[in-house]
Structure 1
Amino acid sequence: MGSSSKHSVVIIGGGAAGIATAASMLKRRPGLDIAIVEPSDTHAYQPGWTMVGGGVFDVATTIRPMASVMPKGVTWVKQACTGFRPEDKAVTLADGGTLAYDVLIVAPGIRLAWEKIAGLEVTLGQNGVTSNYRADLAPYTWELVQTTRGGRAIFSQPPMPIKCAGAPQKSMYLACDHWRRAGVLGDIEVEFRNAGAVLFGVADYVPALMEYVEKYGIHLHLGSSLVAVDGPARLATFKTGEGEETVSFDMLHVVPPQVAPQFLADSPLAAPSGFTDVDQHTLQHVRYPYVFGLGDAGSMPNAKTAAAVRKQAPVVAVNALRQLDGKGPTAGYDGYGSCPLTVERGKIVLAEFAYGGKLAPSFPTWLIDGTKPARLSWMLKADLLPWIYWNGMLKGREWLAGPGGLIAQ
């Protein structure tokens, strides 16, 4: 059996959400006793993997040792959380030990459920089957893009929720742009098969994206969900409104279905969706006031992106510190999310929106009109955002992301 200990704040997850929240809390209250529960040796800048798959970034630049991003002064509990006991203000660990807390912050991320697509796991990384949702596969995406000169290339998108809802089509646009420059796009039948009913969830950005769909000659199949892959035979089976359809492919970029981590879904903290049941503005748990949740594992109806976490972390930091002091929440999250849609190499449609699909631009439209493809948005994604992530967000510097006031209910 493992040992038991107690900390003022216990954070589950050393991803973007957990690290950024710890750093933001320590900026406000240096010396605060925080433990972060995280079994992984490495920390990844996941938004960079689309760029790896497009031949823009080297995958090595997206991964750093976990020790290098742990905020100074936190206790790193290097193992997995296996369960929650909110009535006892404690969590259980893989070694049988427990961690008690005054405040708990739940940020374990989302689970990629590769197993929900029959035959997929055994063929990933070979037979033309790839995914930018894994660091070890994103370079294979770029390899396939460079070697595919004809045939059919399929890009799939599962039902929501998924992290970075734009990523399935970002990889497709970058591939098409490469094929166009290489003079082979006309020999490749490109299909975008999306389980959803629309190309993108926020209508204002659809016209610009549709221009690229038409420019690249992409065949759109909405309401089409990947259910099985036969890698050696190069066949993919999709569930559609009419039943099932099996099509051949030369390249298949898969985005896996995504679910809450099982230890969270099975716990008293879960909403019916399996995600942490929090108030969508205060990010405080609806039943346990000393528990907060953010990031991809939260039940909020926002887009699950790193940009959302950048705005959520300061809100949780402020409200969790107030909870420690016996006070109610004062900061509010408005549902902000961002999806820099890489429509071609050098241009991005910078989708930024809040709850209800309301546009939420960070810059004046004379500088960047997010509904149109822009070179400046590409520079932001390729050069500025990775730097802000490593040197700003993970260090508790809240550039463009201070905690907002509580939104009127």
Structure 2
Amino acid sequence: MTLTSNSRRKIVIVGGNSAGLRVANQIFRMMRWPNVTIVEPSTSHVYEPLLPWLAAGLATPEEVSKPLADVLPKQINWARQGLKKLDPKKKVVILESGREIPFEFLVWADGLVPNWKKSMKGVDALVGENGICHTLDLENARATQKMVNSFEGGKVVFAMMSQLKGEEAAQRFLFLLDDVLRKKGLRDKSSFHFVAIRPDLFPSTKIREKLEAIAKQKGVELHFNHGFKSIDADKRTIVFDQLNEKGKASGETLELDYDLLHVTPALIPPEPLNKAKLAARTGDSKGLMAVDQHTLQHKKQKYYFGIGDALALPIPRVDAAAEGQAPIVAYNLLATLKGKGPGTFKKYDGHASVSLSSANKQALLTGFDYENEQVAVSMGSEEEGYLSWLKSRYINPWMYWRKAAKGQL
């Protein structure tokens, strides 16, 4: 589908991350001279799957991040501010400066945001000191790398307090760090504890069983259904509540000493989604954008589409999902622009691939969709393999930046 230049309808994309960049490029490929504005305050663009590799000292900052201006389509309007409010009635986005940008169609691509206050209160102020680190962004991944470089063995604790997303990156760094310490001859001097608020290491059953077996084989002690209770940074001690079946503190606690503490707070949907009444109001999807799982169009507002982690979809939130969602969103948005209905839309089947590193030069590459917990992917294997590692560590990043720079995502 290609639209001519006289169809200059105003399209706003919220979020200049991988999801936003992918859908922007798809729109530019399908529509001649579109009037697109992307709302993104950051001047750099990060390839997030490589952040754990950077933190482990196995990737460089140049491989992970590039200037956003170098990968955005040149014709795009870039609003270099954060989003303050979305007004569906007026059909405007309001930036932090108060500037209003009107739109006819909106694509929500912004991802989940950390909520330290409700999940790990006070820990955010301690990150970067006393052995406390995280890998949620480029700056902190680089700081974590410095801690890893100076680490001489000891007690390593992973505190994974997010229900919606984060397990992919946390377990990747877990196994990469294990491998780095083994190569330095420090693993025998170290203990590993992985503490999660979730009941498992990964949402998909088959890959979960494999990952948990690998973790136990590597001597990682797993503690599920635990929530953060308190921390004493001076003594380097962290305490967790064991949770009951209702997710409440059972009265039993787990106290661990640490020399290196990797933290992942709760990752939640951005507040503007809720305030604009675009989010699901109840259930496990509460706060996430209420889209049709096949068309990715909002269930009630036909001029709104979504892509990425903030959507209420029944699949794990992994970095690669946006690749399959972007052409669906672009096609269906342009079909709506031409006055066509959902009967003409393309359908998203939930397919995404995920690479789960089990060591440096070893990875499991698998996939899933709405119908199957596990489906075949190119070069993939349920067993640990070198080709899966090669694809996730080098081929995927190289293809991403090569295509991004040419507007081919």
Indicate whether 1:263 and 2:272 are aligned.
yes
| Matched AA of 1:262 | E
Which residue of the partner structure matches residue 406 of structure 1? none
Match of 2:319 among 302, 306, 309: 306
Which residue of the partner structure matches residue 44 of structure 1? 46
Which residue of the partner structure matches residue 117 of structure 2? 115
Which residue of the partner structure matches residue 107 of structure 2? 105
Which residue of the partner structure matches residue 351 of structure 1? 366
Per-residue CA distance 1:369-397 (angstroms, 9 max, x = gap): 2x111100111111111122222257553
In 1, Cα distance between equivalents of 2:91 and 2:405? 27
Contact map agreement 1:260 1:274 (CA 8 A) in 2: yes
Contact map agreement 1:7 1:100 (CA 8 A) in 2: no
Per-residue deviation, 1:362: 2.2
Written as runs of structure 1 = structure 2, the 5 A alignment for 1:39-78 is 39-78=41-80
Written as runs of structure 1 = structure 2, the 5 A alignment for 1:7-406 is 8-116=10-118, 117-163=120-166, 165-241=167-243, 242-243=250-251, 244-272=253-281, 273-329=286-342, 330-355=345-370, 357-363=372-378, 367-369=379-381, 371-392=382-403, 395-397=406-408
Contact map agreement 1:158 1:194 (CA 8 A) in 2: yes
- Cα gap change, 1:143/1:296 in structure 2, threshold over 3 Å: closer, same or farther? same
| Matched AA of 1:246 | E
Query: TM-score, normalised on structure 2?
Result: 0.89
Per-residue deviation, 1:145: 3.1
Contact map agreement 1:48 1:62 (CA 8 A) in 2: yes
Q: Alignment partner of 1:339: what SS?
A: strand
| Matched AA of 1:84 | L
Contact map agreement 2:46 2:65 (CA 8 A) in 1: yes
- Cα gap change, 1:204/1:161 in structure 2, threshold over 3 Å: closer, same or farther? same
| Matched AA of 2:108 | V
Contact map agreement 2:364 2:380 (CA 8 A) in 1: no
Contact map agreement 1:131 1:255 (CA 8 A) in 2: yes
Q: Alignment partner of 1:284: what SS?
A: coil
Contact map agreement 2:366 2:380 (CA 8 A) in 1: no
Query: TM-score, normalised on structure 1?
Result: 0.89
Per-residue deviation, 1:355: 2.5
Contact map agreement 1:349 1:373 (CA 8 A) in 2: yes
- Equivalent residue pairs, number: 388
When the two chains are superposed, the root-mean-square deviation of aligned CA atoms in Å is 2.0
In 1, Cα distance between equivalents of 2:97 and 2:180? 48
Per-residue deviation, 1:120: 0.8
Q: Alignment partner of 2:21: what SS?
A: helix
Per-residue CA distance 1:312-341 (angstroms, 9 max, x = gap): 111100000001101124111122233311
Contact map agreement 1:54 1:142 (CA 8 A) in 2: yes
In 1, Cα distance between equivalents of 2:264 and 2:225? 15
Q: Alignment partner of 1:381: what SS?
A: helix
Per-residue deviation, 1:144: 3.1
In 1, Cα distance between equivalents of 2:32 and 2:323? 20
In 2, Cα distance between equivalents of 1:312 and 1:395? 19
Q: Alignment partner of 1:343: what SS?
A: strand
In 1, Cα distance between equivalents of 2:142 and 2:117? 22
| Matched AA of 1:326 | G
| Matched AA of 1:382 | R
| Matched AA of 2:37 | A
Q: Which runs of 5+ in 2 are unaligned?
A: 1-7, 244-249
Q: Alignment partner of 2:358: what SS?
A: strand
In 2, Cα distance between equivalents of 1:60 and 1:188? 30
- Cα gap change, 1:392/1:197 in structure 2, threshold over 3 Å: closer, same or farther? same
In 1, Cα distance between equivalents of 2:273 and 2:212? 38
- Cα gap change, 1:342/1:394 in structure 2, threshold over 3 Å: closer, same or farther? same
Per-residue CA distance 1:163-220 (angstroms, 9 max, x = gap): 4x32111111111112222223222121111111122211211343234213311111
Q: Alignment partner of 1:310: what SS?
A: helix
In 1, Cα distance between equivalents of 2:334 and 2:18? 19
Tell me whether 330-339 or 35-44 shows the greater mean CA deviation: 330-339
Contact map agreement 2:108 2:307 (CA 8 A) in 1: yes
In 1, Cα distance between equivalents of 2:346 and 2:129? 47
